[in-house]
Structure 1
Amino acid sequence: MAHIMARSTPSTISALMKTCHLYYHEGPRHLLRDGVNLRSPMQVERFLPFISAEGGARFVHFRELDIAVDMYRVPRVVVERCMEQLAQLLSSTEARLESLTLREAEWLLQYGCVASALRTSKIQRLIIGGSGPRACSALKFLSYSLVSLTVSFKSSAIWSHVEGLQTMDGWSYLLDSLSPHVQTLEIFRCDSLPPATPSHQPNPSSSSRQITRHNLCFSTVRTLGLFCSLLPRGQIDVASLFPTFPNVTRLEIMSMPLQNPAESLQSLRESNTAIFKRGGCWAALENCSGELASLYTLGLVCHVVDLCIWSQVEDDDDLSMLAAVVSATRPKVLRLSVDGPFTLLTEVTKALRDAGFKSLETLHLILNIRELYRLGDGAPVDLTEHIFAVLTPLPPQLITLELLIEFRGPYIHTPKPDVQALEELRRKLIAYSKPTLQSVSVLHAHGYRLRPPSGLGPENDDSDSDVDYDGEYDGMYDYISDDSWAYDSNEDGFDSDYERRCAHDDW
């Protein structure tokens, strides 16, 4: 029974729940296994009686909740009822929520019932988008301590009334809001920051006022993700990173574009490198990932075990930055993607054999390959032969090679290499690089890319809507059409006498 539901869609599970008593009790565990997304007042209204059925026994399976309720053109009375229902859900004594996502936190927290419920709901992992002053206040007055937090701020949020920003920069103000969680927070990702000064109330004396810096140390944070300016006069002072988060083992960096074109990437890197050398840097990072230009300008001077480059290497400038980053961090594992002509790929493999890459043991490489033709007659070429030619000789110390190939373009004249051709390429690479190379995989990429973790990136700001979304809503979890949630047509929460008998063991 369980294995059938484990492989079934939500609509199928809902149908199975109405066939027998055992399926009825087993179904909620599978409907709730991947979390719940609430996107409309109707979904909220239907979900509340569903989760409360069976005397609240279903709450034990309810661990993740994502709220982005679209209130566009919804009557005020419906909005207020929906907020009360959300508050009831969050504050339920049976609730065992571990992860909560508020896609439009500042808007939701204007309702006192929701803000009050959030303060007492005892969440371990919190993701809040579209944040503002209310969200910062809520973080500071939670009655529990967070283990994981991802936060981003809405660019249109009004900060003019926030007194703290008259004496603090945005970074210090945010960290001050997190002071209750300083001993428990293990994962912290920040997609954007409050403004350094209130944007709607210019302060003539701001240039001469004394700025108060935070003095907090988040010693328990192991994962730190930042999407913000790490440049001089930027949002975050690079010198504060190591003292504030001294025990980070996983770093994710995506800095904002240059504000001043005159400030070259190299000068920024030199400045940040000097800061780390003078003020200290992490002894070693187990994992460091980010866009290439961001990692280059950050100027790390510590060892990195696993280095992942989200952006593609597309030209010689990228290759130069890659060489500098790898030389400084000395990774054992390197993950990168190359998109360019075979001549660029040749230069990449040459760089991998440079002395700066001597610590490299594992290479995870995504190649974007386009159709090639021989000069003259235009006859197609064997792409696997070209790939083999540019990849050999591999770095002599390489132990593991993970090669994923994306064959881009229509490939009208040249058939894309099939699985058998890729397997032959794998065997040739192993044979050529024996005995050092011990593990090789060659696969079709099928659209696979190196990318930031979910939640790390700029906040979308749609001024035409009351609710913003990060990404598309997965219709797989759209339970509006799911009959198992439609328990609101009867006072006891059941659509039929059959369901009522199932719930009360009355056969």
Structure 2
Amino acid sequence: MDQHPALNYDVLLEIGAVATGLTVSALMQTCRRLYHDCAQYLLTGVVRLKSEKTVVDFCRFVEADGYSRCSYVREMECKTYELSPASSQQFLEVIPRLTRLESLRLPAAEDTLASEPSLVVAFASLTSLRHLDLFWVHGHTMDLLANMRSSLKSLTITFLSVWPHEDSIFWDNIKDDVWLNCHPVPFLRQHMSSLQKLHMCIWHTFPQYETILVRGYPQLPAYPQVYPNMRSLEIERCNFALCLPYIRGFPNLMHLSMKTDHAWDLDATDSRDTARTLRNHRAENVRSQMDSRTTWEHLEDFTGTVVDLYMFGLVCPIPRVELTDRLERKSCNLPLLADVLSYAQPVHLKLEGDGTLLSDPASETLALPDLLRTRGGSRMENLDVTFRLDKSDEDLDVGAALEYFAASLEGTPLRRLSLKLWERFSTRPCLHPVPPDLAIPHPASSSALAPRRMAEISLDALDVEAYAQRISDAIPSLDDMSIRIARPRKYGDRAATYTKGGVVTATTRKT
């Protein structure tokens, strides 16, 4: 153990920094210095504790050298429960010594903490944590959050859909007079000066919406807590959120992401009732901002569905908007786009939809070309749009619709355009035909392709290069453009690109 290694000590130390765990373990057996100094490499990255054995092995390893190895632990993932009393006590003695632990992830937080409630106190006593991820949250986990001594920079928290021991979620046990203090703004107050990023899932902020129908909207107080460094907020499955407490609590927010169940609700059979409910909730959010003359002034981007942005009712400009749902006839979400864009007035917009988004003369709903001529498109500099045509678009004159779309771009400050158009209504020949002797005859089969409809005929006749050239000529501000158009009854696509000062380049890809 004490004999001198053949290689220079510094060289061996560099090898340990990039070696596998087995190699590092072997190096630690060569001399006392490497035994001490190489231990840090076995604790680099995330320390994952997924069983009682891994907990015991970890504790034994960091206990060596007088617990000095505890200072090497920066990230930990702990998914353990039902530890024996001896193992729990051993772990509880180690946790307070993890004085440089910055990131903690509890994938089954409630199970882990409920199995040994003393872990709540142990983890809460740490002062070095900056990043905390909690999943399957219930009462013990909320106690941990409420008593933490660390100042978090980021928090990810996902509440239980159903708590297996009580057949309920955490919010089912909250009394009405406690709801106000369970809102994230007052509840996370010990992290006011440090919190920068919050991702929350199923963190409800008032009783179910059915209660609102009976009692009206809750009168949420003007919480005094302000988080000056909060920059990113992700709201997931927190339905019918009221925006004003977040605006007041996170005044410097820059990035907002939402993913609720409202888009699914709008597709349901009672979509009219859902649309009315969303409309009323939007009106409440808009009214609260207007009455208080308060909205976000630094918001840079929004990512989420058009339904969520509509429901949240923001009245502030949003420079970058990325809509993650498909705007289409059957989803009933396209009519919401006009109201959303009228306030957001994005500089950068990314969205996709079916032929209804491109053109729908039979509908009173404004399609994208019409919206680009309104206030909602007045600041547009970057447009990334994908049209996915299906069977319901077979009678659409695609060529005429694309020309109308191009005309709507004239006079806009557009600098970048990405346009993609795919179709799923034409029949393509099989890339790998089945040999006749292996083919299974079918009485209803026919070797003839389906008759060509208007969409297919007009799409096939489109000259993509000429179309791109017309757009580049009509928009002097355009810096670059990319257009990809499907080839009906063929594979691949036709593409055209343009860069300012250059010429339109067209290619045909056969894939």
- Is 1:321 the counterpart of 2:336? The answer is yes
Secondary structure at the counterpart of residue 225 of structure 1: strand
Cα deviation for residue 212 of structure 1 reads 8.5
C-alpha contact (below 8 Å) 1:84/1:114 kept by paired residues: no
1:152 is aligned with what amino acid? T
1:42 corresponds to: 53
Deviations 1:382-420 (A, max 9, x none): x9x9998797457342212356788989995387xxxxx
More displaced 10-residue stretch of structure 1: 347-356 or 96-105:
347-356
Deviations 1:174-220 (A, max 9, x none): 5443222223222223212368679xxxxxxx98xx99847332232
Cα deviation for residue 302 of structure 1 reads 0.4
Cα deviation for residue 361 of structure 1 reads 1.1
Cα deviation for residue 132 of structure 1 reads 2.2
CA–CA distance in structure 1, aligned partners of residues 74 and 51 of structure 2: 20
CA–CA distance in structure 1, aligned partners of residues 40 and 401 of structure 2: 50
C-alpha contact (below 8 Å) 1:254/1:290 kept by paired residues: yes
Cα deviation for residue 98 of structure 1 reads 1.9
Cα deviation for residue 40 of structure 1 reads 3.0
1:101 is aligned with what amino acid? R
Which residue of the other structure, out of 224, 227, 233, is the alignment partner of 1:224?
A: 233
Structure 2, unpaired ranges of 5+: 1-10, 209-213, 361-366, 432-462, 486-511
2:440 corresponds to: none
CA–CA distance in structure 2, aligned partners of residues 426 and 49 of structure 1: 69
- Is 1:108 the counterpart of 2:149? The answer is no
C-alpha contact (below 8 Å) 1:268/1:297 kept by paired residues: yes
2:178 corresponds to: 168
1:189 corresponds to: 199
Cα deviation for residue 240 of structure 1 reads 2.8
Which residue of the other structure, out of 240, 248, 251, is the alignment partner of 1:243?
A: 248
Relative to structure 1, the CA distance from residue 294 to residue 115 in structure 2 (aligned partners, 3 Å threshold; closer, same or farther) is same
Cα deviation for residue 295 of structure 1 reads 0.7
Deviations 1:250-286 (A, max 9, x none): 2223345469648343333223212211122122411
1:185-334 correspondence runs (5 A): 185-193=195-203, 213=221, 215-220=223-228, 221-229=230-238, 231=240, 236-257=241-262, 261=274, 263-279=276-292, 280-315=294-329, 317-334=332-349
C-alpha contact (below 8 Å) 2:185/2:246 kept by paired residues: no
Secondary structure at the counterpart of residue 397 of structure 1: coil
2:137 corresponds to: 131
1:496 corresponds to: none
Cα deviation for residue 351 of structure 1 reads 4.2
Q: CA RMSD in A?
A: 5.1
- Is 1:350 the counterpart of 2:369? The answer is yes
CA–CA distance in structure 2, aligned partners of residues 290 and 45 of structure 1: 43
Which residue of the other structure, out of 80, 97, 100, is the alignment partner of 1:96?
A: 100
Cα deviation for residue 57 of structure 1 reads 7.3
Give the TM-score normalised by the residue count of structure 1: 0.62
Relative to structure 1, the CA distance from residue 410 to residue 248 in structure 2 (aligned partners, 3 Å threshold; closer, same or farther) is same
More displaced 10-residue stretch of structure 1: 426-435 or 165-174:
426-435
Aligned residues: 402
Cα deviation for residue 125 of structure 1 reads 1.4
Give the structure with higher Rg (CA). 2
Cα deviation for residue 304 of structure 1 reads 0.7
More displaced 10-residue stretch of structure 1: 116-125 or 250-259:
250-259
CA–CA distance in structure 1, aligned partners of residues 418 and 350 of structure 2: 9
C-alpha contact (below 8 Å) 2:55/2:91 kept by paired residues: yes
Structure 1, unpaired ranges of 5+: 199-205, 376-382, 416-423, 445-507
2:324 is aligned with what amino acid? W
Cα deviation for residue 439 of structure 1 reads 3.2
- Is 1:149 the counterpart of 2:146? The answer is no
1:337 corresponds to: 352
Which one scores higher on RCO, CA 8 angstroms, separation ≥ 6? 1
2:438 corresponds to: none
Which residue of the other structure, out of 392, 397, 401, is the alignment partner of 2:413?
A: 397
* Identical aligned residues as a percent: 20
Secondary structure at the counterpart of residue 97 of structure 2: coil
Give the TM-score normalised by the residue count of structure 2: 0.62
CA–CA distance in structure 1, aligned partners of residues 91 and 383 of structure 2: 47
Secondary structure at the counterpart of residue 168 of structure 1: helix
CA–CA distance in structure 2, aligned partners of residues 131 and 195 of structure 1: 15
CA–CA distance in structure 1, aligned partners of residues 79 and 426 of structure 2: 39
1:64 corresponds to: 75
